[in-house]
């Protein structure tokens, strides 16, 4: 026997469930389908999908694609804020590891980094998400060094040497380039895995550092299936590319 209003209640329940259900992985969507996703659903997209929307907008001559790209960029930066806050909290000034960001200043620095990252994305020419991850570290480092320099001057303390800031910036740039080169090599190595499932899982595990649950959600798999694919992909990499051991162990 149906309860009064049962059909309507079931329909509302289905709609509510659909509203909170993660969208399909961008790996299963064409650019056409990805472009059709409304902005209010961007919160359900993963970082890779948001990055793809940004690339689509960058290459498009249509205003609506550019608008969607800006919305995707803002969502992407917002999603990376835990990473930004962690970088601010662990920052140490080069050559002066005892100089750090005080706890009460960390939220302010994170917000400054948020603004700068949005500006950075407007002119960012990297075409891979991992390049943006490297740029986050560099950007946060610049923000923290500038803040500490101004703070030292305002408190009439010995200000950090401008040359030290420049040296740190140059080293950060070199480190960023080296990491991009290394990541490109790792990406090519993972692409050589002969099975699609283990290949996709290792890509998300090593390059995006996602957990089994996150990978399963992204690829529409159960977590135990992800673990099986991860072991298979890991074994193949270690057998055929033992130099990957350090990267896989991260």
Instruction: Please tell me the number of Cα atoms within 13 Å of 24 on its side-chain side.
Output: 7
pTM for this entry? 0.54
CA dist., res. 25 & res. 55, Å (int):
17
Question: 208 exposed, middle or buried (CB, 10 Å; 0-12, 13-18, 19+)?
Answer: middle
Structure tokens at 111: 């917000």
Structure tokens at 15: 């709609």
Structure tokens at 167: 């040296």
Nearest 10 degrees: CA dihedral of 32, 34, 39, 42? 180
Contact 193, 237 (CB under 8 A): yes
Q: pLDDT per position in the chain (250 positions), as tens?
A: 444 555 544 444 444 434 433 444 434 567 788 888 888 888 888 888 888 899 888 888 888 888 998 999 999 999 888 888 888 988 887 777 777 888 899 999 999 999 999 888 888 877 788 788 888 888 888 888 888 888 777 665 554 555 555 555 555 555 554 555 566 677 778 888 999 899 989 888 887 778 888 888 888 889 899 999 999 999 998 888 887 787 776 5
Closest CA to 200 of 221, 219, 222: 219
Instruction: Please tell me the number of Cα atoms within 13 Å of 60 on its side-chain side.
Output: 18
């Amino acid at each position: 026997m149906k309860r009064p209003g049962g059909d309507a209640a079931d329909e509302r329940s289905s709609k509510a469930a659909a509203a909170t259900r993660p969208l399909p992985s961008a790996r299963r969507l064409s650019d056409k389908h990805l472009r059709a996703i409304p902005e209010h659903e961007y919160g359900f997209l993963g970082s890779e999908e948001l990055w793809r929307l940004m690339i689509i907008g960058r290459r498009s001559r249509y205003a609506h694609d550019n608008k969607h790209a800006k919305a995707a960029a803002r969502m992407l930066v917002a999603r990376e804020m835990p990473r930004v806050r962690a970088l601010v909290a662990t920052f140490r000034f080069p050559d002066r590891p005892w100089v750090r960001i005080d706890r009460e200043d960390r939220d302010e620095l994170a917000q400054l980094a948020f603004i700068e990252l949005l500006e950075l994305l407007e002119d960012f020419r990297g075409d891979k998400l991992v390049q943006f991850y490297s740029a986050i570290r560099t950007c946060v480092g610049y923000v923290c060094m500038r803040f500490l320099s101004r703070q030292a001057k305002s408190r009439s303390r010995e200000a950090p040497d401008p040359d030290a800031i420049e040296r740190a910036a140059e080293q950060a740039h070199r480190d960023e380039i080296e990491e991009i080169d290394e990541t490109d090599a790792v990406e090519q190595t993972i692409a050589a895995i002969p099975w699609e499932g283990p290949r996709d899982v290792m890509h998300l595990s090593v390059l995006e550092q996602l957990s089994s649950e996150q990978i399963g959600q992204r690829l529409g798999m159960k977590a135990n299936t992800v673990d099986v694919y991860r072991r298979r992909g890991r074994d193949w990499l270690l057998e055929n590319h033992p130099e990957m051991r350090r990267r896989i162990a991260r």
